[in-house]
């Protein structure tokens, strides 16, 4: 008997059906080891040796495999057929080293589809773990670790509010930020077109567009304004028109190639609005159930037996006319394509989507894959494209009509690819019978105004497509990269489009100025090529790491003496064309529009993020967001909701979201009462009554029955709450703050006290803000003097640093130094983990 290990229980269940009782099939549940999230896990001074730890959640799975090996002599590693799957197999072999002694055998098998034939064939041809693929994984993992653990702390210290930087995620973020800057810099240009509805002598109408005026072919911007367009209209109306020529040309459309990872993610986004992560999750389940081939691939070739099966299915369903004379062969044109795997296709061409029993998202995705695969081997569509030119006798005016007719639908009977953005001017209308030389009567001539459009924001689909074109990332990483930059709050998704947040803009500006080489598209793609060379056995992974580390540490060292003020000044300068666009009156765009005396500049908030503020603060409290269009003041009143006690109640939009304010503010009222709109409250639904309720918070509920101390309800930075003394208890809904009574409040507070029965924590002297890694940083009074506290890290203040004067930047440095001295962030006491092992040379 043998122990077979795969990644997931679903995959194990499917394979177990094919192998029978002679095999024990177990799941590793993904990766079993990883680098500990602390300094020193990769040691450049020791040949980039890596310290690995078995993840706590994985220990029971490793133990289960080790237990099975006590009675079985063979371990068969059947993880996925890519670089990541090879890495999981290598980790399992290393983690189980103590159980693999005394003649135990370890073999590696791979299959591109979980079918009986594929699994049986793989079992008949085992091999060793591929050392080159493992070394490519080690190099990629080490690079990502070295960049993340060395660049992220620089961001934390120099750019408050930044969370992390990554080798590929930062380059992806740059793409989104630069596209947004293109959109902001875009200036629309006006142009006009003229169309005419013409009629044949038989009364059949068709539409034509003006292409020649004054005997000269029109360019896009030749009709630049309404006056020019009206002159063109008069030129058409004042002349008789005849059909100059009719030209019909045959054309053909060939089918699209079958899916690979990136094109599947793009098409699922276009047709179903599915994100990359959701697409890959559904595809994973289809693969594990044996319905499709492996879904992380950059190959588009198809196995010969699959091609034959597709052609047979086409002939059966559509007839011989839809089967081309010879099979279609496809080759990938993408930069850095490895083509190591087959395309994504159904394992059974005869299993039509209507017969698949699966969840809705899986069924939709399977239908897409099935149709694309079948269509890829079908005959081309045959079209007839007709062009009709209509001209005046003097040749001064000419119009053109175009039409298209499908003569044979071919692959279009099954599938056509979606589009990211509509192609302007494409005309597929069918034209009536038109003959050269016959007159064309004018029924209607219409001018139409247009403006050029900025480049569209990226969707997940177009972003993945652009990353693929540039050679950034790999099939296994596209989804995680796009997800990470959204989780870091560097990018948000609005109606399917990716929009950079202020944090994302700042990080990109910082990296492009101080670490430009490492966010260059070509540099990242070249590094991916080197990793591909390692996987092919053509490069030594330690040499690649050493060369990268030498230059990277030098770049890190150059930023050591940078101060936050210098960084902000530099970023302010770089982003100036977009932060301070020219004003219509020609005045200095940096002059504060509120006080007329201060200068506008880039500022950072304690809680992270950035905004534009006036240099006369606090006398002038003008602020606006970085991305405010045309320099609009985000502090400006959006709407007057009404009056209360002689003061206007205003609904405003600030850099942290919408809020209500009592009074306009100014010298007489420098700190007007404000309240942010809680989550779920729409600015459009705000009225005077709701605003006054917000401004009245916190609300006293009454004295607590136990001690008589007042119980209050309010909305804080962490949401709605009730408070009694130092005990805060969260409420599920903001509206409950205004209605909660004493009985309910006492119940909620009692539940909170029961959950945390330890004595109340000492009150903080000051709250400095949020740590980039999450959690508050506070100044505390301790038995041995004041200190700064972040989660379980306590760093004593130097004697010359007063607790009321310490800044967030200074606190971050003290915490970083304390963490480094303690060997990383403190953790609660627990059982000693399994002894970590050093990464051995693969193979």
SS (H, E, C) 768-828: EEECCCCCEEEEEEECCEEEEEECCEEEECCCCCCCCCCCHHHHHHHHHHHHHHCCCCCCC
CA angle 412, 418, 424 (to 5 degrees): 105
Structure tokens belonging to residue 580: 């301070």
H helix count then E strand count, the chain:
21, 32
Query: By CB neighbour count within 10 A (0-12 exposed, 13-18 middle, 19+ buried), where does 792 fall?
Result: exposed
Residue 147 makes CB contacts below 8 A (sequence gap 6+) with: 165, 166, 167, 518, 552
- List, as one string, the DSSP characters of 246-314: EEEEEEEEPPPPPB-HHHHHHHHHHHH---HHHHHHHHHHHHHTTSBB-SS-------HHHHHHHHHHH
Beta bridge partners of 445: 196
Q: Which residue has the tokens 């590094």?
A: 527
**Is the separation of the CB atoms in 341 and 82 below 8 Å?**
yes
Beta bridge partners of 194: 447
Active site residues: 294
- List, as one string, the DSSP characters of 95-160: HTGGGS-SS-EEEE---SB-SHHHHHHHHTS-B---HHHHHHHHHHHHHHHHHHHHHHHHHHHHST
End-to-end CA distance of the chain: 25
Torsions phi, psi of 340, nearest 5?
Answer: -80, -20
What distance in Å separates the CA atoms of residue 185 and residue 183, rounded to the nearest whole number?
6
What distance in Å separates the CA atoms of residue 550 and residue 552, rounded to the nearest whole number?
6
Beta bridge partners of 397: 213
Beta bridge partners of 700: 712
Give the three-class secondary structure for 37.
coil
What distance in Å separates the CA atoms of residue 477 and residue 485, rounded to the nearest whole number?
13
What distance in Å separates the CA atoms of residue 51 and residue 149, rounded to the nearest whole number?
15
What distance in Å separates the CA atoms of residue 176 and residue 22, rounded to the nearest whole number?
53
Q: Where would I find the H helices in 608-741?
A: 688-695
Structure tokens belonging to residue 46: 């020791």
**Is the separation of the CB atoms in 174 and 519 below 8 Å?**
yes
| Reduced DSSP (H G I as helix, E B as strand, rest coil) percent helix, strand, coil of the chain, to 5 | 35, 25, 40
Give the three-class secondary structure for 319.
coil
- CB hemisphere CA count around 834 (13 angstroms): 22
Length of the chain in terms of residues written: 843
Structure tokens belonging to residue 518: 């490492």
């Amino acid at each position: 008997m043998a122990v077979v290990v795969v990644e997931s229980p679903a995959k194990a269940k499917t394979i177990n059906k094919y192998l029978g009782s002679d095999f024990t099939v177990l799941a590793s549940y993904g990766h079993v080891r990883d680098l500990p999230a602390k300094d020193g896990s990769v040691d450049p001074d020791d040949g980039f040796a890596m310290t690995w730890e078995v993840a706590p959640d994985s220990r029971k799975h490793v133990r289960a495999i080790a237990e099975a090996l006590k009675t079985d002599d063979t371990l068969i590693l059947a993880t996925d057929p890519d670089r990541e799957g090879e890495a999981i197999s290598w980790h399992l072999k290393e983690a189980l080293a103590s159980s693999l002694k005394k003649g135990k055998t370890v073999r590696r098998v791979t299959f591109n589809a979980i079918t009986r034939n594929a699994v049986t064939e793989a079992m008949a041809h085992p091999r060793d773990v591929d050392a080159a693929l493992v070394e490519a994984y080690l190099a990629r993992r080490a690079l990502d670790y070295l960049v993340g653990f060395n660049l992220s702390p620089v961001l934390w210290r120099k750019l408050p509010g930044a969370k992390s930087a990554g080798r590929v995620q930062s380059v992806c973020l740059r793409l989104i930020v630069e596209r947004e800057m293109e959109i902001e810099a875009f200036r629309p240009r006006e142009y006009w077109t003229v169309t005419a509805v013409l009629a044949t002598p038989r009364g059949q109408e068709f539409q034509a567009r003006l292409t020649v005026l004054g005997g000269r072919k029109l360019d896009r911007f030749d009709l630049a304004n309404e006056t020019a367009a009206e002159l063109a209209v008069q030129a058409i109306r004042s002349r008789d028109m005849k059909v100059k020529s009719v030209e019909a040309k045959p054309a053909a459309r060939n089918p699209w190639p079958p899916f690979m990872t990136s094109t599947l993610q793009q098409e699922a986004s276009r047709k179903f609005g599915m994100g990359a992560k959701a697409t890959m999750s559904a595809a994973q389940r289809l693969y594990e159930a044996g319905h499709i081939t492996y879904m992380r691939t950059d190959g588009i070739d198809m196995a010969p037996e699959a091609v034959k099966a597709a052609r047979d299915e086409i002939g059966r369903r559509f007839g011989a006319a839809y089967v081309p004379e010879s099979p279609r062969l496809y080759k990938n044109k993408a930069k850095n394509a490895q083509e190591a795997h087959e395309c994504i296709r159904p394992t059974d061409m005869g299993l039509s989507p209507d017969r698949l029993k699966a969840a809705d998202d899986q069924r939709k995705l399977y239908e897409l894959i099935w149709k694309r695969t079948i269509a890829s081997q079908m005959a081309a569509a045959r079209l007839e494209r007709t062009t009709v030119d209509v001209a005046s006798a003097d040749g001064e005016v000419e119009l053109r009509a175009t039409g298209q007719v499908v003569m044979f639908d071919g692959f279009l009977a099954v599938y056509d690819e979606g589009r990211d953005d509509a192609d302007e001017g494409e005309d597929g209308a069918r034209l009536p019978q038109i003959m050269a030389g016959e007159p064309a009567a004018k029924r209607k001539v219409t001018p139409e105004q247009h403006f050029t459009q900025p480049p569209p924001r990226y969707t997940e689909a177009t972003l993945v497509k652009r990353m693929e074109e540039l050679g950034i990332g790999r099939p296994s990483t596209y989804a995680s990269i796009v997800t990470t930059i959204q989780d870091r709050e560097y990018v948000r998704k609005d109606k399917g489009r990716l929009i950079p947040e202020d944090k994302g803009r700042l990080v990109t500006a910082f990296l492009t100025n101080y670490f430009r080489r490492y966010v260059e598209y070509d540099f990242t793609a070249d590094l991916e090529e080197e990793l591909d060379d390692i996987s092919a056995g053509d490069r030594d992974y330690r040499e690649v790491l050493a060369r990268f580390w030498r230059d990277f540490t030098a770049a890190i060292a150059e930023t050591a003496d940078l101060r936050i003020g210098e960084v902000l000044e530099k970023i302010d300068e770089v982003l100036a064309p977009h932060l301070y666009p020219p004003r219509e009156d020609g005045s200095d765009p940096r002059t504060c529009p509120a006080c007329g005396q201060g200068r506008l500049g880039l500022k950072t908030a304690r809680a992270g993020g950035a905004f534009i503020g006036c240099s006369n603060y606090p006398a002038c409290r003008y602020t606006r967001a970085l991305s405010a269009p045309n320099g609009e003041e985000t502090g400006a009143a959006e709407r007057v909701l009404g009056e209360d006690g002689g003061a206007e109640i205003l609904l405003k939009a600030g850099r942290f979201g919408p809020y209500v304010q009592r009074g306009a503010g100014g010298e007489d009222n420098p700190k007007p009462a404000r309240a942010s709109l809680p989550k779920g409250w729409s600015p459009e639904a705000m009225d005077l009554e709701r605003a006054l309720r917000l401004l009245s918070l916190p609300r006293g509920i009454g004295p607590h029955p136990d001690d008589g101390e007042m119980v209050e309800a309010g909305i804080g930075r962490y949401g709605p709450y009730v408070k009694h003394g130092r005990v805060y208890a969260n409420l599920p809904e903001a509206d409950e703050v205004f209605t909660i009574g004493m009985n309910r409040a006492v119940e909620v507070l009692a539940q909170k006290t029961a959950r945390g029965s330890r004595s109340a924590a000492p009150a903080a002297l000051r709250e400095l803000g949020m740590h980039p890694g999450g959690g508050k940083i506070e100044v505390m009074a301790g038995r041995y003097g004041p200190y700064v506290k972040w989660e379980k890290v306590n760093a004593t203040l130097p004697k010359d640093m007063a607790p009321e004067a310490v800044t967030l930047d200074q606190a971050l440095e003290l915490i970083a130094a304390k963490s480094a001295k303690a060997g990383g962030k403190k953790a609660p006491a627990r059982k000693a983990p399994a002894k970590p092992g050093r990464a051995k040379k693969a193979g």
